[in-house]
């Protein structure tokens, strides 16, 4: 069965060790985590963890059930398709000598990125978007030379009813 990327977001008790319970579940059951992102919500007792995983549908079903079984997981939703918004932020440090600077700036402009740090031989670029957009920026910057890369992993929210 085909393995598809799957984004899930969950509200969890904001207590020590909860992230470890979630990630421990993935490692002990042999599931994989592509990215994980967690932080407190507007309720300080509750955190939101968003995980991207790749698995076939029966395994996804099992992952979701296992996560819901954790006593500290309050609520879990899938974040796939048009009913949700998903974003990731990437900081990309690229080589940028004189002859490349214009090209880099053009790419940043096309993707509505920002230069957040600049030196004689580098830029640090900030880009936000869905995974496809981040991937597209990286594809264009790769030939110029990516020195360092940091990505937050996916976050997202379900859209409210219109």
Partner 1 sequence: MMTGAQILMNILKDENVDTIFGFPGGAVIDIYDELARTGIRHILVRHEQGAVHAADGYARASGKVGVCLVTSGPGATNTVTGIASAFADSIPIVVLTGQVPTHLIGNDAFQEVDIVGITRSCTKHNYLVESITDLARILKEAFYLARSGRPGPVLVDIPKNIASAKTDFTPPGDVRLRSYNPTYRPNQKQMREVVRLLQAAERPLIFAGGGVILSKGAAELTHLAQTARIPVTTSLMGLGAFPGSDPLFLGMIGMHGTYAANMSASTCDLMLAVGVRFDDRVTGKTDAFARQAAIVHIDIDPTSIRKNIPVSVPLVGDCRISLQMLNEMTGTAAGDAPSPARVEWLGRIAEWKRTQPLSYHQGESIKPQHVVEKVCELTRGEAIITTEVGQNQMWAAQFYRFDHPNRFITSGGLGCMGFGLPAAIGAQIACPDQVVVDIAGDGSIQMNIQEMATAVQYNLPIKIVILNNGYLGMVRQWQELFYGRRYSSTRMNHAPDFVKLAEAYGAVGLRATRPEEMEPVLKQGLAERKPVIMDIVVEAEEGVYPMVPSGAPITEMLLV
Q: Which residues bind partner 1 (CB under 8 A)?
A: 13, 17, 20-21, 24-25, 28, 58, 61-62, 65-66, 68-75
Q: How far is the CB of 113 from partner 1 (least distance, A)?
A: 39
Q: How far is the CB of 157 from partner 1 (least distance, A)?
A: 20
Residue (33 or 91) nearer to partner 1, CB: 33
Residue (73 or 104) nearer to partner 1, CB: 73
Q: How far is the CB of 83 from partner 1 (least distance, A)?
A: 23
CA 49, CA 147: separation in Å to the nearest integer? 29
Cβ distance 51 to 36 under 8 Å? yes
Provide Rg for the chain, Cα atoms. Answer: 18
Structure tokens at 78: 């899938």
Residue (28 or 139) nearer to partner 1, CB: 28
Residue (7 or 73) nearer to partner 1, CB: 73
Q: How far is the CB of 8 from partner 1 (least distance, A)?
A: 15
CA 4, CA 115: separation in Å to the nearest integer? 33
Cβ distance 136 to 111 under 8 Å? yes
CA 23, CA 67: separation in Å to the nearest integer? 10
């Amino acid at each position: 069965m085909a393995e598809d990327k799957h984004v899930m977001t969950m509200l969890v008790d904001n207590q020590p060790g909860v992230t470890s319970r979630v990630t421990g579940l993935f490692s002990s059951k042999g599931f994989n985590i592509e990215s994980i992102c967690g932080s407190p919500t507007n309720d300080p007792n509750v955190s939101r963890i968003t995980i991207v995983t790749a698995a076939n549908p029966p395994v996804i079903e099992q992952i979701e059930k296992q996560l819901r079984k954790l006593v500290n997981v309050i609520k879990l939703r899938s974040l796939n398709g048009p009913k949700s918004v998903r974003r990731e932020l990437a900081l990309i440090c690229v080589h940028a000598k004189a002859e490349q600077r214009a090209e880099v700036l053009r790419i940043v402009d096309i993707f509505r990125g920002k230069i957040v740090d600049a030196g004689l031989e580098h830029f640090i670029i900030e880009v936000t978007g869905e995974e496809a957009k981040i991937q597209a920026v990286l594809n264009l910057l790769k030939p110029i030379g990516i020195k360092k890369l940091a990505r937050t992993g996916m976050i997202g929210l379900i859209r409210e009813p219109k």
